[in-house]
Chain A
Amino acid sequence: MGANLKQRVKASIGLAAAIAMGATFGAGQRSAAAEELRIGFLAPFTGGFAQNGEDMKNGFNMYLEEVHSDFAGAKVTIIFEDEQAKPPVAVTKAQKLIDQDKVQFIMGGVLASTGYALAPVSTRNQLAYVMPVSAADDLTQRERTNFPYVVRTGWTGSQTTHALGQWACDQGMKRVGIVAADYAFGYESAGGFQTAFEDCGGKVVQKIWPPLGTKDFGPFLTQIRGDVDAVFTVMVGPMSPQFPAQYAAAGFKKPLIGQGTSADEFSLPFMGDDAIGHVTALQYSAALETPRNTAFVKKYRSLYGKVPSYYSETNYTTAQWIHEVMKKTGGKWPGTKEFVRMMEATQLADTVRGPVRLDDMGSPIQNVYIRRVEKKQMFGFPNAELWNTVIKTYPNTSQFWTYKKDEYLKKPLYSRDFPACKYCE
């Protein structure tokens, strides 16, 4: 092709694309039919959290396919938007879903900052925001009055670690060091552990905060004290496989316990044998040997080629939850306020993760499983793999643990400095 022709073709394509884009500007303003349920689903599908978003989508879609996208007569239309794990983008996309796609409620988000970005959008537009993943504590605690339409169907960071703190006491542990990622989720998870652990007689003697995304834990490992019974970690993303490996290589032998994300099914397939023995707490484990979970894991793996993580499970269960609400309304959308009230009133006895219901702040009360990483064969799969075997269950755990809600809320939100490290030497 001559240079001229090539240039002309490229320019024409560019022009055509521009015109096409312009033409679609006004489109997409259908109003929702009475028996239609339009859901706006926000998750990252590009960037560092793309796989989490993908898992979330797969979990929700798997449930939808099982019921043929029919929630008790309401035809479910779900629109997925990529919020790229950036709060400003999440806000824009949410607005698009609300104004242009006329969704009846929005759901999703992975990071705490996305949760904090979308919660006010829900208040402003008087629309329910269902959070299956975001674990930011305060959204259903001290900030609840600002965000009355937020329904959390996942977990809070401290919900699981409170239980782990109790478990650590029950194992006879007296002194524990904390190594937690230096950001809000790390603080809230560590705070939960420290509070419960110290209330039952334990002592947290050290708190180390590697920055989020740390690749070389060298400078932090040298600070870890040897005179502890265990090291409690809060690791996320790529930190989760790397920390146990570097910890072991540096010669540390004390047991590792941690927040669920330190060894959850998302990272577990890629962790080496140094993860074996790692004890973590989460509201789900793929190794739960209940009939419901067995079927879920087998089906998910056959469809998507991997063991489901809690990102998938929580969205599957959320879909089930919404379906239960729609069953009660006969497939008619009950309106935002009523929807939130009904979600709070609906108790699910049999989900993949076990029984689950909401407290009066819109946050789940559920089992917290203490899991240990073991290498074995499960569910008839051919190879021995790493699984989170459940070694103890704490039923009916709320976001406040055993504390009275009002007293709990009087204390400040867990932060880097709260609870203070009384026993740090």
Chain B
Amino acid sequence: MGINTGVSGVRRNADAGQILIAVAGLLAGIGVAWIVSRAGGDRFNGSHLPFAVPVILLVGWSFIGGGLLYWRSRPDNHLWAVLIFQGFAWFGSILPSSQNPVLFTFGQFVYPWQYASGLYLILSFPSGRLRGGLDRVLVAITVCLVTVGNLVWLLFADPHRMMCPTCPANLLEVTRNDAVVVGVFYVFRPAGIVIALTGIGLLAVRWRRASRAQRHAVMPVAVAGVVAFCAGIAAFAARLAGMPGPNGFDAFAFYAGAAVPVAVLAVLVQRRLAQGAVAGLVVELGGPGPVADPREALSRALGDPSLALGYWFAAESRYVDRNGGPVELPAPDSGRRSTVVEREGQPVAVLIHDAALEHNAKLVDSVCAAAGLALENEQLAAELRARLVELQASRARLVEATDAERRRIERDLHDGTQQRLVSIAMSLGLVEAKLPADPERAKPIVAETRTALATALAELRDLTQGIYPTILTERGLPAALDELCSRSALTAHLRLFLDGRLPIPVETAAYYVVSEALTNAAKHAQASEVRVAARCADGILTVEVADDGVGGARNGTGSGLRGLADRVGALDGRLSVSSPPGQGTTLRAEFPCR
């Protein structure tokens, strides 16, 4: 539950860079404000714009300040660089108001750059990465237009004719060529409309596909983006329609552009507030009395109603829900992500949340840290419930297995012993009928009857041995294992490290583990040899049966292994199967034996 911090030297460099940028932004704002004030306060670029200076400062400083905040909280997300660039580009776009030819010309050159970075910002928010090919193409075209296209325009544009009558000289003007300048305008404006329309389309598609949490995270910026795109379209369309500029649509576009940084700041503030909610979470989860459900509190703190919680069930190395039911981790492309909460290197719980929260890892970290203790408590409870669920299932299986066993015994008795005894009774009836009149013919029937009786007794012996291995009660585990191995169809090597008798249930379970493993090895594994080992040390009885067969057996498959696992589990033991294909199968059971 820690947040990674970089090397401190890197941190110091970053701190210095941030201070530098803050100072530069402050100075740039003051300079631009001064230029605009000198140009007439609420008039610049020839338009009448009330509150121009406060709006200019608000927008520029919001971008730069937002960028710095982003840099501090999410240095890995390059959105901060885009925001800072956007802030300076914005201040640069005001420079054409200057009467100084150098500032004026520079301003004319950088003036449209804000469109490119603004487009990048809106399309890449909040990850800082462009998501599709169309996004990249759109941004690339815009960058070309605002750099190369603008430069071409400047090379031939006469400021007094094309910009304003009172403007200073255009230092980049090589020669005045009105045809080229007008031609560039006729490319710029339709291109601007197409780009803005495509941008709106991309945002709409994204909105439709977004989850609730994702919408929640991007809503202000998306709305501001659409407003800015619309304003741009209106301004370009007005010019295309022949409206002389500067006009009211230009003014509308100016104010609409201000909405974007405000929206970015709003999202940042929202996140800060969400982190504030973590404090509430600490209070809520840390209070006296049981927590109703940590999921509710976590879901509120993270702003993700779809949040799911899984608790670590160490005994089976999987996650379970509050009631002990299974919890599946999300697939990588499912739009869901999981964040594991750990305690001393051991998983405690997993948060399964919307992928949008990835952009706010800091919040997730703080929420996990705050909820740690409550989650640990809940995990213990969930683990208990999971054990209970498992216990109920295994109890049901034991009952089922007992019934199946009884059915088998009944069938064996009915089809075997009972039938034989009836046939013996019939033979005796026959003898009784014959004896007085024809003793000679009765003799072979008596012999036949005796053979039948011997067969019946042998069958009965096998049957009783199958019901319960009597040697186990009479002689204990070593003798019983020895007999099992000598009866096995495979060559079995037995190694025993046992002294004295163990508790009867442990001996019985160990016997059945070996018996089942030998049967499986002979039946399914195509093995030729088996090694059987039983060792009791430090209060743990370990029984291991390893064959040299084909391997590939899986734990939990087949009622035989499942039944064994239940039997072993009932004694607080563990059954494990290792069966790599081609490398034989090893069945291993461990029980407490004191």
Whether both chains belong to one complex is answered with no
